[in-house]
Amino acid sequence: MDKRKFKIKTTFIDREQELRLLHNYLEAQPNSILFLYGLKSSGKTTLLYRLCDELAEDKSYEIKFLNLRKIFLDSYEDFLQAFFKTRNDRENGLKVSTKRQYSMFGRMLKGKKEDPFLVMEREFQKLVKKGRKPLIIIDEFHKLSGIYLPEKQKTLITELMNFFVAMTKESHLCHVIIASSDAFFIEEVYNDSKLRKTSAFQNLDYLSYADVKEWLFHTNRYNEVANFSLNENEIELIWETVGGSPWEIQYILERLFEFPLTKIVEKIKRERVAMVADWCFQDETNERKRLMKFFLDHSVQPIQAFDPSQRSILGEAVHDNILFYDPVEGAYGMQGKSLEWGIKEYFLSKFI
């Protein structure tokens, strides 16, 4: 438990439906890989940590949680070192079970010659015989892209995916949850016919309007703040500016100790206009500007709305966190409500 004192704390806002979906996946015999994807900073990592906290009370689970965002990975050996280490890999100030480690492997490989996949499979078999349920969670899985096995002919991601298919759909030994904020990685997986037939996909969106209202009406409860409260008009202004983006809402709350809400909102809008302007300015062909006009009236557009020749420019927008791509729904959308404001204000500028 985090005993440090702050004037405002971060919080976990109700994700009951999403947690229920994760629990439903785990309550069935392993038969597929679950991919968790979604907008940047939609709370995927926090949701997975909350799941682990809830499962910590259930002694039947053995969990390996690997957050690749916290690990420098440059080689296959780096991955092995990270995957087979034993320590509590917990953070973020959520409830922590001190008696439990989110790591099921109690030793390193014997040298570098032992097949790590065989080591994992044997461990899973031992756990299953004891009535335990192995669970592997890897966050930011796409960070393994570009890492090859020692013989340099096979990629680590490909071999891991094949192994996870074998452990879930074929052997039913282990549940696997993979989270990624990289839309193109999810697209690659989704378009792979073999993986699509062995995987489930869950999109984690931003918070709903109802959840945001519940949070902001009760900041004293959720953020342990006693210095201010928000009225309905202020809550509406926050929602209209950043929508249900948890990080941006927290950003606003932290600045309310020093600045009025209207000033904070104006600053956010100016920053988003500058972001869109800078992105469009880097393109001498004006293709980026023309693309942005697609999203003036509708923040989400089906892939059919675009010409195949625009695929490259769409890819740039996704890579630069201007747009989000959902390959399962086949749609492109803005990376949050604040960027919708950025586009609208950009095209209203007298300089455009």
Task: Dump pLDDT digits (tens) for 178-211.
Answer: 999 998 899 889 888 888 889 999 999 999 999 9
Sign for the pseudo-dihedral over CA of 80, 83, 86, 91? positive
Bridge partners of 134, per DSSP, are: 62
Q: What percent of the chain has pLDDT over 70?
A: 90
DSSP string, 328-341: TTTEEEESSHHHHH
Higher per-residue pLDDT: 294 or 85: 294
Pick one of 3.50.50.60, 1.25.40.10, 1.10.10.10, 2.40.30.10 as the CATH number of 209-348. 1.10.10.10
Higher per-residue pLDDT: 237 or 229: 237
In this prediction, residues 81-109 reach a mean pLDDT of: 52
Task: Dump pLDDT digits (tens) for 32-62.
Answer: 999 999 998 999 999 999 999 999 888 899 9
In this prediction, residues 82-97 reach a mean pLDDT of: 53
Q: Which of 28-42, 67-81, 290-304 has the lowest mean pLDDT?
A: 67-81
Could you tell me the CA-to-CA distances from 335 to 92, 281, 295 in Å, in that order? 24, 19, 11
What pLDDT, on the 0 to 100 scale, is given for residue 6? 80
How crowded is residue 351: how many other Cβ atoms within 10 Å of its Cβ?
5
Domain residue extents for the chain:
16-204, 209-348
Structure tokens at 269: 């809008």
What pLDDT, on the 0 to 100 scale, is given for residue 88? 44
Closest CA to 199 of 180, 222, 220: 180
Tell me the pLDDT of the chain averaged across its residues.
Answer: 88
What pLDDT, on the 0 to 100 scale, is given for residue 59? 85
Q: What is the dihedral of CA 229, 234, 239, 241, to 10 degrees?
A: -120
pTM value is 0.88
Confidence at 89, pLDDT banded by 50, 70, 90: very low
In this prediction, residues 307-323 reach a mean pLDDT of: 94
pLDDT at 350 over 80: no
Higher per-residue pLDDT: 307 or 114: 307
Q: How far apart are CA 250 and CA 140, in angstroms?
A: 22
pLDDT at 322 over 80: yes
pLDDT at 243 over 70: yes
Kindly state which CATH superfamily the domain 16-204 is placed in.
Answer: P-loop containing nucleotide triphosphate hydrolases (3.40.50.300)
Q: Which of 103-112, 121-130, 242-251, 298-307 has the lowest mean pLDDT?
A: 103-112
Task: Give counts: helices (H), strands (E), the chain.
Answer: 15, 8
Confidence at 102, pLDDT banded by 50, 70, 90: low
Task: Dump pLDDT digits (tens) for 110-149.
Answer: 555 678 889 899 999 999 999 999 999 999 999 998 899 8
**Which residues, in sequence order, are CB contacts of 117 under 8 Å at separation 6+?**
159, 163
Closest CA to 105 of 97, 116, 115, 96: 116
